[in-house]
Structure 1
Amino acid sequence: MLQWENPGLVVEWIWIGIGLFLLTTILITVLVVNYLKSIRKSRQKVMQLVRNTQTECWENTLHIQEKDRERLAEELHDNIISNLNLIRLNINHKNRDELNLDLKQSMQLIRELSHNLTPPDLGEITLTDLIADYLNQISKTIEIDYRHRVTDASISSPVKLNMFRIVQELVTNTLKHANATRIDVSLRISLEYLMLTIEDNGNGFRQENNYNGIGLRNIQSRAQKISAAYKLKSKPEKGTKFIACVVIE
């Protein structure tokens, strides 16, 4: 029978083996625990980022809604109510044809306001026609040059709506503040991208002083929703130019 020459040495090596096994097990356990902690922290960071993004989007949505309400109140007070009040005051001083013309103008303002608040079914109209319909109404008060070049590209409803609202925001502010006599609008849609350019010949402004003067926050919010890159250029007495680009996926 085979016998060990030094049984004590064998026992020593056994204990060394057991110790190495235990150390390896502990090391693996520590690594697994740290890895799980890292995953947990990463998950918490992602969840916090999601919550922050949701909060920011909600705040932007509320801001846009509030701006729309303010615009509605302003339009009703400054234009429609004022026009109707003038009709009431002049009802005994104007003839029937003049009063009829004043009423038609008030009705036109109401139609424009309704169109601005609720555009047509986005699934049933192209962005080109949606903008054209809006600018056709504006052309009664200012010269509009609308150019468009479109390929057979599919544009989602969110892109249509937000680009349309951006056009409204820019044109409305041009009419109110720029003292412009002309607005040039260009829309180009290819299979890869959509590019919108709006330029006026108005007063312009110093961007470092009045960069928020044309409702830039609304434009920023809508551009972010559709991942649009944009640039605004303006100088005093040189007009204002806006360019936006959206990648079509």
Structure 2
Amino acid sequence: MSNWENQGLLVEWIWIGIGILSLVTLFITILVVNYMKSIKKNKRKVMQLVRNTQTECWENTLYLQEKDRKRLAEELHDNIISRLNLIRLNSAYRDINELNVDLKKSMQLIRELSHNLTPPDLGEIELSDLIADYLEQVNENMRIAYHHRIKKDIHINSSVKLNILRIVQELVTNILKHARATHIDLSLRISAKYLVLAVEDNGCGFVAGNKYGGIGLKNIYSRAQQIKAAYKLKTQPEKGTKFIICVIIK
């Protein structure tokens, strides 16, 4: 083979090499461009998810605020104002002892309402004590059994404390208003990994699908979401209701 032929063959292989290198470069460029597009797309998804989460949290906050305002208005109108109005109307026909009893009951209702609305001291007081303090304010005609078993030196953050306390208040309030129960059994268990709260009554029960919103479960669901808790409701007509909630302690 002549030198001319060898040079031609070499040039041909050089061009083939340049072509292959160009194709590889083009392929890598396409991969990089697609990868960058994927990163931007995923970033947009993450940002949208963050915005959706923020919106959901804000909506939950507004809902809870409106729920508390509605409850305050109902308590003032249905219990305190109505009771005080009856005292005023009947003051001329009842003796001082009966009026004194009615006034004490009205004061008790006001204390309960104030206790429910005032944020507790979450930093220094244990959750079990917060619940016990609240239960002491409940109507004395209701029998309440409160059991708690807590592992020592377990830290419960303020958000979990507040939301568990509010859930207890919501459950007990609903039992007093709707369940026609005579007994409430409440248990709190805190281990190294889990917090488990169970609230059970011997009331009339209900069909869960029919009264889901009416008994405040939406409020409880919102609070459970805030602390990433799982919960279960067990109820049947005339067989009482049992509510269990579990929180993983980090």
TM-score in terms of structure 1 length: 0.94
Indicate the percent of aligned positions where both proteins have the same amino acid. 71
Is residue 204–residue 240 contact of structure 2 (8 Å, CA) maintained in 1? yes
Matches of residues 48-197 of structure 1 in structure 2 within 5 Å?
48-152=48-152, 153-197=154-198
SS of corresponding position for 1:245: strand
Match in the other structure for 1:10 = 10
Give the AA of the match of 1:41. K
Deviation digits for residues 145-200 of structure 1, max 9, x if unmatched?
A: 11111111111111101111111111111111110010000111111111101000
Give the AA of the match of 1:177. H
Deviation digits for residues 58-79 of structure 1, max 9, x if unmatched?
A: 1111111111111000000011
Match in the other structure for 2:37 = 37
- Distance of 1:119 and 1:143 partners within structure 2: 26
- Shift of residue 122, structure 1, vs aligned partner: 0.7
Is residue 174–residue 215 contact of structure 2 (8 Å, CA) maintained in 1? yes
Give the AA of the match of 2:220. I
Deviation digits for residues 26-79 of structure 1, max 9, x if unmatched?
A: 111100000000111111111111111111111111111111111000000011
Count of residue pairs brought into register by the alignment: 247
- Segment of structure 1 superposing worse, 205-214 or 147-156: 205-214
- Shift of residue 141, structure 1, vs aligned partner: 2.9
- Distance of 1:172 and 1:248 partners within structure 2: 27
- Segment of structure 1 superposing worse, 161-170 or 84-93: 84-93
Is residue 145–residue 186 contact of structure 2 (8 Å, CA) maintained in 1? yes
Alignment gaps of 5+ in structure 2: none
Give structure 1 regions of 4+ aligned residues with deviation exceeding 6 angstroms. Answer: none
- Shift of residue 120, structure 1, vs aligned partner: 2.0
- Shift of residue 86, structure 1, vs aligned partner: 1.5
- Segment of structure 1 superposing worse, 69-78 or 119-128: 119-128
- Shift of residue 89, structure 1, vs aligned partner: 1.5
- Shift of residue 112, structure 1, vs aligned partner: 0.6
- Distance of 1:24 and 1:146 partners within structure 2: 73
